[in-house]
Amino acid sequence: MGAQLDATTVLPEIHETIDSEEQPPFNGVASIIGSPSRFPLVTVTWRRWFVRFCRAKEMRYGLTAWWRGRQPTSRAVVGASAALPGIWYVVCILATALMVSGCGAAPRWRADDQPTRVDVTTLLCATDPGPLFREMHATEIPAIPLRQHLRPCCAFGAQLGVSVGPIPIPGYCIGNVLGPDDVGRHYYDSGLLQVGVKGDDSGLVHSEHNGLVYTCRGGFIDTAHVRDYADWAIFLGTTIARNLETGTLINLPNEGGTRQILVRPAAPTLVDQLGPRRLAIPLSQWLAFQLSIWHEIATWFGWASVDAFPERVSAFSPEDLYSNAIGTKIAAAVAAQRAARTEFLFNRSVDGWMKQILGYLGAVPEGAGEEAMASVDKLWWDSGRRLPDPHLVLRRNMDVGPEIRPWLVPARLAGPALRAACGADTQPLVLANPDGIGGRRFSDAATLTIDVDDALAAREPFRSLGRRITQDDFPAIIAAIRAQNRIEFGIDTDRPD
pLDDT of residue 192: 57
**Radius of gyration for the alpha carbons in the chain, expressed in angstroms and rounded:** 22
Question: Is residue 363 domain-resident?
Answer: yes
> Which pLDDT belongs to residue 272?
83
pLDDT at 76: 37
pLDDT exceeds cutoff 50 at 57: no
Predicted confidence at residue 195, as pLDDT, reads 53
Lowest mean pLDDT among 91-95, 283-287, 469-473: 91-95
pLDDT of residue 52: 44
Q: What is the pLDDT of residue 194?
A: 55
User: Of 95 and 48, which is predicted with more confidence?
Assistant: 95
Residue 120: band (very low, low, confident or very high) from pLDDT cuts 50, 70, 90: confident
Q: Is residue 447 part of a domain?
A: yes
Domain contains 160: yes
Mean pLDDT of the chain: 79
pLDDT of 364 > 80? The answer is: yes
Per-residue pLDDT at 305: 83
In a domain? residue 367: yes
Q: Which residue has the higher pLDDT, 73 or 283?
A: 283
Let me know: does 340 contact 234? Beta carbons within 8 Å: yes
pLDDT at 427: 93
Measured distance between the N- and C-terminal CA atoms of the chain, rounded to whole angstroms? 29
Q: pLDDT for 390-426, tens place per residue?
A: 999 999 999 998 999 999 999 999 999 999 999 987 8
Which pLDDT score is estimated for 175? 74
Average confidence (pLDDT) over 443-455: 97
Which residues, other chains included, contact 380 with Cβ-Cβ below 8 Å and sequence gap of 6+? 156, 318, 393, 394, 395, 407, 496
Residue 309, pLDDT > 90, answer no
pLDDT digits (tens, 9 = 90+) for 333-344: 999 989 999 999
- Quote the domain boundaries for residue 99: 7-109+144-489
Confidence (pLDDT) at 78: 39
Q: Does residue 494 surpass a pLDDT of 90?
A: yes
pLDDT higher than 80, residue 263: yes
pLDDT of residue 307: 76
Range 24-36 average pLDDT = 31
Does a cis peptide bond (omega within 30 degrees of 0) precede residue 25? no
Assess whether pLDDT exceeds 70 at residue 93: no
For the chain, percent of residues with pLDDT exceeding 90: 55
Per-residue pLDDT reduced to its tens digit, 62-92: 433 333 344 443 333 334 344 444 444 445 5
Structural domains counted in the chain: 1
CA–CA separation, 282 and 338 (whole Å): 15
**What is the distance between the alpha carbons of residues 42 and 45, in angstroms, rounded to a whole number?**
5
What is residue 35's predicted lDDT score, i.e. its pLDDT? 34
Residue 486 has pLDDT above 70, yes or no: yes
Residue 299 belongs to a domain: yes
The yes-or-no verdict on residue 130 having pLDDT over 80 is: no
Instruction: Please tell me the predicted confidence (pLDDT) of residue 306.
Output: 80
In this prediction, residue 118 carries a pLDDT of 78
Instruction: Indicate if the pLDDT at residue 286 is higher than 60.
Output: yes
pLDDT by residue (tens digit) across 184-211? Answer: 999 999 865 555 433 344 544 567 999 9
In a domain, 157, yes or no: yes
Q: How far apart are CA 1 and CA 327, in angstroms?
A: 13
pLDDT at 105 over 80: no
Residue 131 domain-assigned?
no
pLDDT of res. 298: 97
User: Residue 122 domain-assigned?
Assistant: no
Residue count of the chain:
497
